[in-house]
Amino acid sequence: MHYNSFEIEGQLVDLHLERIYPARIRVHKGRIQSIHPLTETHSRAFILPGFVDAHVHVESSMLIPSEFARMALRHGTLATVSDPHEIANVLGMKGVEFMMENGAKVPFRFCFGAPSCVPATHFETAGAALNVHEVARLLDRPEVLYLSEMMNFPGVLNKDPEVMDKIKAAHDRNKPVDGHAPGLRGQEAKAYAAAGIHTDHECFTLEEASDKLEAGMWIQIREGSAARNFEALWPLLKTHPEKCMLCSDDKHPDSLVLGHINALVRRAVRKGVPLFNALKAACLNPVNHYNIPLGLLREGDSADFIQVASLEDFKVTGAWLEGRKIMGDDALPWPEVQETPINNFFAFDLKPEDFRVPVKNPKAALRVILPEDGQLITREAHMVSIPQQGYWEANPEQGLWKLAVVNRYKQADPAVAFIGGLGIRCGALAASVAHDSHNIVVAGTNDADMHAVVELLKLHKGGLALACGDQSMVIPLPFGGLMTDKNGDVIAKEYEAMNTVFKQWGCTLEAPFMTLSFMALLVIPDLKLSDKGLFDGREFRFTSLELG
C-alpha cells in the first residue's frame, strides 16, 4: 500500500497531557513520525483524535456500513463500536459476515462485536439464532473486539447456562462484554456487573447511572433518534469523565445528516463540561476500553485524526486515516461499493379482517401501550372502549389506535393490540425495522390502511411505508429489510418527507418510525407487543389485552 509522507501544522489538542499548543505533525508511511511544538503557527485549525460512537447499531441508519461511514465521517467520526445484532436476528452469521465485509471496503474503523442475544428472547419469532459455539467463533476473529450487549439481564441474574457461557467465551479471550440493563438498580445492578459485564447504555436517570458506576460499570451516554438520554446524564461528564463514553445506539438518516458524536461534544461544552472531559468521552475512552486500532495523536500512532475550525461548534474540515486524507478539500475519492441485497422475507397472505380483535368481555378495560417520546420505555395504560359489532376497534378521538406485529418469516396470524399517543386522524404506518426480531410492526386508525402498508412492505420485501386511502409512500430496504445501498442524503430526504406527511396526518411523535420500531422491543419495559402476543416487560411474560 502506498503512503505519502507529509507535514501538517495546527493547534494540537493533546488529550493525554490536557494541553492545546501549536505543533507540526510529521506523517510517514501512515504513522505519526514526530510531533514538534511550535512557538507559533499560521494555522488556526485544531487537530484532535477522531470521534468514536461507543455503541451503535449501524442497521438503524437504514444504510449499509459503507454508506453509513461516508455520512458519519463528515462529522469527524472515524470509528464505531458496532453491534450487528439487528441483521443477525434476521440472517444470522450470513448477516454478520455481510456487515464486516462491506464495512472493510471503505476507510473507516468499524469495530464489530459478537451478537450475544440472537434471538433476543424466546417470546418472539426471529429469522436466525446464534449459539454459544458460533459466538465463540466470532470472538476468535481479531476484528471482533467484544461481546455485544447482553440484553438478557434476567438470564444473567439467574445465571442461565447459555448466557454465562457466552460471557465466559469473551472473558477467556480478554474481550470486554457490553451490557443492557434498563432500570436495574442497587443489588441487582451489582450482581449484573459482577458477572463480568462492563458497560451500560440504557440509563435514563442519574440515580440509575450512579448505581451502575458504583458497581464498576462504564456509562455510555446515549443520544439517538428515539432514545435521548443526554439531557439527563450529561452531568456525569463533570463528575465521572474517566468512566463515560458517548454513543447514539440508533441513528436514523435524517438526524445523521445533522450531526453525530460531534454534536454531543458541542452540547457538553456549552453546558460547562470541561473540554477535555468531553473529548475523552468522545475519543479516548472508547479506544482504550475496546482496544480499537485507532490512533490518538501520539508519536508512533497510526495517523488517524481530524481537523475542526473551532472548539465551540466542532465543525469538521478534514479527516485522515492512516495518513490518507479521506474527508475535506483534496480528499481521496470515496470508494464506490456495489452489493447484492441479502434478505429473509416470507411472502405471506393477509386480509384486512386479519387485524380484527374479537371481544371476549365487552365490559373489560383494555391494556394500552403508551410510548414515551424520546425514550425506549413505554407505560401501560388502561382504557375503556365501546365494542363495535363484536370487535375492539381503534378510536382516534379517544386516543386509541391499533398496533399489530406480523411475522415476516412464516405464515401466522398477526398479533394485534392497542397503542396511544400517535395523534393521527387517518392512515397507518409500518416498518420491517422492528427491534429485535424485525417482524413487521404496523399502527393505524383502521384495518384497511394497516393491511395496505403491510402489502407495500410485502411487495418490496421490507422497508418503511405509510398509507391513507389512495395516498401512500414507501422506502424499500432490500438488505435484510433493514438497509439500503442508496445515497444517504437521498434516503434522509425521503425519510424526512415521510415523517412530514405522517405529522400532517396528526402524529405528535418526533420520530414516528423509530418509536414504532421499539414497540416490539420486549427487553425494554413496560408493555410491548411481539408477533406472539402482548408482553409485560416488567414481569417478562405474556399478558392479556383485556382486564377483568
Q: Is the pLDDT of residue 3 over 70?
A: no
pLDDT at 21: 96
Residue of higher predicted confidence among 217 and 224: 217
Q: What is the pLDDT of residues 279-303, one digit of tens each?
A: 999 999 999 999 999 999 999 999 9
Residue 543 has pLDDT above 70, yes or no: yes
Averaged pLDDT for residues 261-267: 98
Whole-model pTM: value is 0.93
Helix, strand, or coil (residue 306): strand
Question: What's phi and psi for 228, nearest 5 deg?
Answer: -125, 100
Q: How far apart are CA 431 and CA 463, in angstroms?
A: 6
* pLDDT tens per residue, range 46-81: 999 999 999 999 999 999 999 999 999 999 999 999
Which residue do the cell numbers 485507532 mark?
294
Mean pLDDT over 483-512 rounds to 94
Percentage of the chain lying above the pLDDT 90 cut: 90
The mean pLDDT of 182-195, rounded to a whole number, is 95
Share of the chain above pLDDT 70, in %: 99
Lowest-pLDDT range of 183-187, 474-478, 509-513: 509-513
Q: Does residue 268 or residue 372 have the better pLDDT?
A: 268
pLDDT score of 180 more than 80 = yes
> What integer is the mean pLDDT of 112-134?
95
Residue 231 grid cell:
439531557
User: What gap in Å lies between CA 77 and CA 196, rounded to an integer?
Assistant: 29
- The string of pLDDT tens digits covering residues 310-360 is 999 999 999 999 999 999 999 999 999 999 999 999 988 999 999 999 999
pLDDT band of 374, cuts 50, 70, 90: low
Band the pLDDT of 42: cuts 50, 70, 90: confident
**Could you give all domains of the chain from N- to C-terminal order, each with its CATH number?**
51-294 (3.20.20.140), 352-547 (no CATH)
CB 286 within 8 A of CB 111: no
pLDDT of residue 373: 78
Write the Ramachandran bin of 327: left for phi over 0, alpha for psi from -120 to 50, otherwise beta: beta
Asked whether the beta carbons of 368 and 420 are under 8 A apart, the reply is yes
* Mean pLDDT over the full length of the chain: 95
pLDDT the model gives residue 43:
82
Q: Above 80 in pLDDT, residue 215?
A: yes
Closest CA to 181 of 526, 442, 461, 524: 524
What's residue 1's pLDDT? 45
Res 2 pLDDT > 60: no
DSSP reduced 3-state for 191: helix
How much is the average pLDDT of 188-207?
96
Q: Could you read off the pLDDT of 298-313 as tens digits, one per residue?
A: 999 999 999 999 999 9
Looking at the predicted structure, is the pLDDT value of residue 375 above 90?
Answer: no
**134: its cell numbers:** 458460533
